[in-house]
Amino acid sequence: MAAATDTASNANAQQLVLEREPLVLNNRSFSWITNRICGIVENRQPLGWWFLFLPSVLLTGVMVFCFAYLIVTGVGVWGQKQPVDWAWDITNFVFWIGIGHAGTLISAILFLTRQKWRTSVNRAAEAMTIFAVMCAGLFPAFHVGRVWMVWFLAPIPNANAIWQNFKSPLLWDVFAVSTYFTVSLIFWFLGLVPDLATLRDRCKPGIRKALYGIFSLGWRGSNRHWSHYETAYMLLAALSTPLVLSVHSVVSFDFATSVVPGWHATIFPPYFVAGAIFGGFAMVLTLMIPVRKIYGLQDLITMKHIDNMAKIILLTGTIVGYAYCMEFFMAYYGANPFELQTFKLRALHGPSVWYYYAMFFCNVFAPQVFWFKRFRQSLLAVFIVSNFVNAGMWYERYVIIVTTLERHLTPGSWRTFDATWVDNWTFIGTFGFFMMLFLLFLRFLPVIAIGEVKGVKPEADPHYGESHDRGLQEAEVMGETDSEILASQKAAPAH
C-alpha cells in the first residue's frame, strides 16, 4: 500500500488533499476589509445600536445608584448574613472574571498554536475581557464595606506599619486580577495600534484624526517596526498564556486553600480554568452572533468560526461535567463525612438543589448538542446554547459559594440565603455597564483586527501564486538567461 502511494503521481496525491475552508469568504480584497470594518466606526450606527445603548446606560445608572446606596448604608444592604458571608458579590466576581478568560485564550493561546481563525474574533474578545474584568473588580472592592479603605489591598503598609498578609490567597487574587487586567489592556492596545493608524489615515483632519493619531503612536506600518512588533506580540501571547491559567487558578485558591467542605478540593484550579474558558466562549458567541449580523461581517466571522467556538464549548463543557462528577466521586471516595454531607445537601436535599440541577443542565447537557454539525451550523441553536452556558456558569459559582456556606459545619448556624433587591439590581446593572462599554467599543474602535485579518488571506503570503519553479519576472530582473532558469529548476528538490 505504501509503495503504491509512493509511486502515485503528484497530481493524484494533490487531489486527495481537501481544500481548506477560506478564513475570509468571497475572496474579499484588502480594501474591502478596511472599508467594511472602518465603516462601522465611520458611519451612523444602526437603530439597533441605540436600542441597546440607551437601556445599557440606564442600567449603568442603576448600578451606580446601588453602589452609592451600599456606601451610604452599609454592606448589609446585600443579603449576606452569617454564615453566608460570600454570596452574590463573590459569585458575580468569579462569573465576570471567568468571562474574560475566553478573550485571553483567543488572543494568546490560539495565537501561540497558530490558529489563524482567531484573527476575526480576537479584538472583540479582548475588549470583552477588559470590560468583564472591570465589572468583576467592582464586587470585591465594594464588598470590603468601606470602599474608601480599598487601598489596604495594595502593597502599602497601613498606619500601624502592618503589611498585607502575602500568604493569603485573597491577596494573591489582588495581584493576579490586577496583573491580568493590566496585561490584557497592554495586549489589546498593542493590537489596536496598526488599526488605529488605519482609522487615522481615513479621517478628515480634526479632533478625531488627532485622537486616533495620538493613540496610533504615529504608526507607519514600517517593516522594521513590524519586526519588533511581531516579537512583542508573540512575547505578550507567551506571557498571557500562563497568566490566564494562573488567574482563575488563583481565584479557585480563594476556595481551595480553605478547609471548608465543598471548597477544599485539589481539582479546583483546572476545573475553574476550564469553566472560565467555557463561559467566556459562550459570552463571545452571545456578543458576536448579533454583531456579525447587524454589521454585515458574515464574510469575516464565518460559520467556520462559529463552528470552531461551538466545538471549544463542547470540549470545555464536557471537562466541566467531568469535574462535577469527579467532585462527587471524591466526596464519596474520600470518606470524609462532612464533604459527603455537603454534596448530598448540594444536590439531593439542600435548600438550593434546583440551582445545582440548573447548573448541571445548562453546563453539561445543553452543550452536548454540539456533537451534531447541524446544531453547530445553526446560529439560533448556538445562540440559545451560549445563553444557557452564560446562565449555567453563574449557577455554578452560586452553587459552589452559597450552597456550601448555607449549610456550614454547625447545623445551629444554618441559614438559607435570600438575595435582596440591591443584590439583584447591582448584578443586572453590571450587565448594563458591560454592554455600554462594549457598544462604545463598537462605536469608536475597529471591532475586528483589520491588519491581522488581511494577514491571513492567501494573497498576504509573499510567495502566493508562485509555482514551485522560480518566478520568471524575478529571473528577468536578475538578468538570468533561460538556460540558467532551467538549471535552477532542475537543481531544486522535487516536492
Partner 1 sequence: MSNLKRVHGYLAEFDNAQDLYHAAEHIRDAGYQRWDCHTPFPVHGLDGAMGVSRSKLPWLVFFGGMTGTITAFVLQTITQTNFWRDNMGMGFLQKLVETYPTVVQSKPTGIWTLPAFFPVMFELTILFSAFTVLFGLLALIGLPRLNHPLFTSKKFAKFSDDGFLICIEARDPKFAQQGTRDLLEKVGAKNIELVEDDI
- Residues near 249 by beta carbon (within 8 Å), at least 6 away in sequence: 269, 270, 272, 273
Q: Which is nearer to partner 1, 28 or 344 (CB)?
A: 28
CB distance 198 to 38 below 8 Å: yes
Q: Which is nearer to partner 1, 54 or 460 (CB)?
A: 460
Alpha-carbon dihedral sign for residues 485, 488, 490, 494: negative
Q: Which helix (H) or strand (E) holds 357?
A: helix 353-360
Q: Which is nearer to partner 1, 105 or 243 (CB)?
A: 243
**Is residue 375 within the footprint of partner 1 (CB under 8 A)?**
no
Least distance in angstroms from the C-beta of 451 to partner 1: 4
State how far the Cα of 124 lies from the Cα of 100, in Å rounded to an integer: 11
Nearest CA to 410 among 341, 485, 343, 463?
341
- The residue count for binding partner 1 (CB under 8 A) is 75
Within 127-146, which residues bind partner 1 (CB under 8 A)? none
CB distance 62 to 400 below 8 Å: no
Contact flags string 428-467 toward partner 1, x per CB under 8 A? ----------------------xxx-xx---xxxxxxxx-
Contact flags string 22-61 toward partner 1, x per CB under 8 A? -------xxx--x---------------------------
Q: Which is nearer to partner 1, 44 or 224 (CB)?
A: 224
Least distance in angstroms from the C-beta of 265 to partner 1: 18
Within 146-185, which residues bind partner 1 (CB under 8 A)? 155, 157, 161-169, 171-172, 175-176, 179, 182-183
Least distance in angstroms from the C-beta of 255 to partner 1: 15
Q: Which is nearer to partner 1, 226 or 361 (CB)?
A: 226
Q: Exposure string (b/e) for 19-41, b if CB count within 10 Å is 16 or more?
A: eeeebbeeebebeebbebbbebb
Q: Which is nearer to partner 1, 226 or 338 (CB)?
A: 226
CB distance 294 to 438 below 8 Å: no
Q: Which is nearer to partner 1, 162 or 335 (CB)?
A: 162
**CB neighbours of residue 441 within 10 Å:** 19
Identity of the residue numbered 400: I
Least distance in angstroms from the C-beta of 384 to partner 1: 36
Q: Which is nearer to partner 1, 61 or 270 (CB)?
A: 270
Cα atoms found within 13 Å of the Cα of residue 315, Cβ hemisphere only: 10
Least distance in angstroms from the C-beta of 245 to partner 1: 11
Least distance in angstroms from the C-beta of 83 to partner 1: 20
**CB neighbours of residue 303 within 10 Å:** 16
Within 241-260, which residues bind partner 1 (CB under 8 A)? 242-243, 246, 250, 253
- Residues near 190 by beta carbon (within 8 Å), at least 6 away in sequence: 229, 232, 233, 236
- Residues near 362 by beta carbon (within 8 Å), at least 6 away in sequence: 388, 389, 391, 392, 393, 395
Give me 464's grid cell.
Answer: 502566493
Alpha-carbon dihedral sign for residues 410, 412, 416, 421: negative
Q: Which is nearer to partner 1, 11 or 259 (CB)?
A: 259
Nearest CA to 305 among 448, 155, 468?
448
Within 290-349, which residues bind partner 1 (CB under 8 A)? none
What is the SS3 assignment for 35? helix
168 φ/ψ angles, rounded to the nearest 5 degrees = -90, 135
Residue selected from 200, 292, 376, 397 as contacting partner 1 according to rule CB under 8 A: 200
Give me 410's grid cell.
Answer: 454547625
| Bond before 493 cis per omega within 30 degrees | no
Least distance in angstroms from the C-beta of 472 to partner 1: 11
Q: Which is nearer to partner 1, 244 or 369 (CB)?
A: 244
Least distance in angstroms from the C-beta of 128 to partner 1: 19
Least distance in angstroms from the C-beta of 162 to partner 1: 6
What is the SS3 assignment for 166? coil
Least distance in angstroms from the C-beta of 41 to partner 1: 14
**Is residue 117 within the footprint of partner 1 (CB under 8 A)?**
no
Within 218-237, which residues bind partner 1 (CB under 8 A)? 218-232, 235-236
**Is residue 473 within the footprint of partner 1 (CB under 8 A)?**
yes
Least distance in angstroms from the C-beta of 125 to partner 1: 18
Q: Which is nearer to partner 1, 115 or 222 (CB)?
A: 222
| Bond before 337 cis per omega within 30 degrees | no
Least distance in angstroms from the C-beta of 160 to partner 1: 8
Q: Which is nearer to partner 1, 46 or 458 (CB)?
A: 458
